[in-house]
Amino acid sequence: MIKGITLSILASCLFGLLYYYPVLLQPLSVIDIFCWRLLTSFPAIIVLISIEKQWPEIAMLLTRIKQQPSLLIGLLFSSLLLTIQMLIFIWAPLNGHGLSASLGYFLLPLTMVIIGQLVYQEKLSFLQKISVGLAVLGVIIEIYMTQAFSWETAVIALGYPIYFMVRRKLQIEGIAGTFSDFFFIFLGCLGYFLISHRVNKILDDLIHFHLYIPMLGIITALAFAMYFMARRLLPMGLFGLLGYVEPVLLTIVSALFLHESISPEHIVSYGLIWSSVCVLALEGCLFVLRAIKRKIIW
């Protein structure tokens, strides 16, 4: 279990590093950084699949596409949803919206809980009801105080649940879904470079960022590898609880390295939302403690 916890925390740290990484690649555009990330990380994903011996799952997905060609439309839609999220992950820290984006990741577990109840008829526990109530109150106050709600926060908090619902509907959970998403995005990025970039521009990027561009792919692949390994090694409750580490790190990166700060009108609403996350985390801790007591984890 210690190995799984370590891998999960290391994965979150690498995702935190990736949040700051676009700053190192300036003055490249958001699209260019995004495409370089996918072009360099997809080969590493292939290596990961080979090491994990997961090619049978990929073969099963290809068989499904042959038997059901309409599945291809769903896979393309899934890739599009992930593309939007990955672009925001790069755009936000470069444009002074790192804290707003990190708030979206804080809200994500709560929106997943709400979606579970509304769509899949999952029952809310007492603590989950308190958590959802605090979050809803925080959002209402945010809208009232600012007459708006950060679009990047909303897209992250609502977009990822839609993405996960699509993957669940398509039955492409796990490495096969990740391969599919990255494959189609990789093709899109490759086409973008071939159409809009001259060879000289591509070579200039590689020469100027000869270390940063390859490392971007390596860090991305390592983060996903550690994430997948941790998910396999840890109980679901503990794995979900450790998922709160990443938004905390993104907030720290935004405050300390991107020099963003919370304005006074956001303090109350953000405080309520973070309190709701703490309540949800408390429930996760209680679940893990009960599992340890029953010797399920060990």
pLDDT of 185 = 95
* Tens digits of residue pLDDT in 2-37: 788 888 889 889 999 999 999 999 889 999 999 999
Q: Is the dihedral of CA 159, 160, 163, 165 positive or negative?
A: negative
pLDDT band at 1 (very low <50, low <70, confident <90, very high): low
pLDDT band at 64 (very low <50, low <70, confident <90, very high): very high
Q: How far is residue 90's CA from residue 24's CA, in Å, rounded to a whole number? A: 12
* Tens digits of residue pLDDT in 262-293: 777 778 888 888 888 788 778 777 877 777 67
3-state secondary structure of 68: coil
3-state secondary structure of 260: coil
Q: Mean pLDDT highest for which of 63-67, 170-174, 240-244, 271-275?
A: 63-67
Which has more confidence, 236 or 184? 184
pLDDT of 61 = 92
Q: Over 70: is that where the pLDDT of 296 sits?
A: no
pLDDT of 203 = 80
* Tens digits of residue pLDDT in 103-161: 888 888 778 878 887 887 777 788 888 888 888 888 888 777 766 678 999 999 899 88
pLDDT band at 235 (very low <50, low <70, confident <90, very high): low
pLDDT of 201 = 77
Q: Over 90: is that where the pLDDT of 221 sits?
A: no
pLDDT band at 84 (very low <50, low <70, confident <90, very high): very high
Q: How far is residue 3's CA from residue 233's CA, in Å, rounded to a whole number? A: 8
**Site of tokens 């990822």:** 160
pLDDT of 67 = 93
pLDDT of 295 = 59
b/e code 56-84 from CB counts within 10 Å (16+ = b): ebbeebeebeeeeeebeebbeebbebbbe
- Per DSSP, 29 falls in state -
Percent of the chain with pLDDT over 70: 94
Q: Residue ranges per domain, the chain?
A: 2-293
pLDDT of 58 = 92
Q: Over 80: is that where the pLDDT of 241 sits?
A: no
pLDDT of 178 = 85
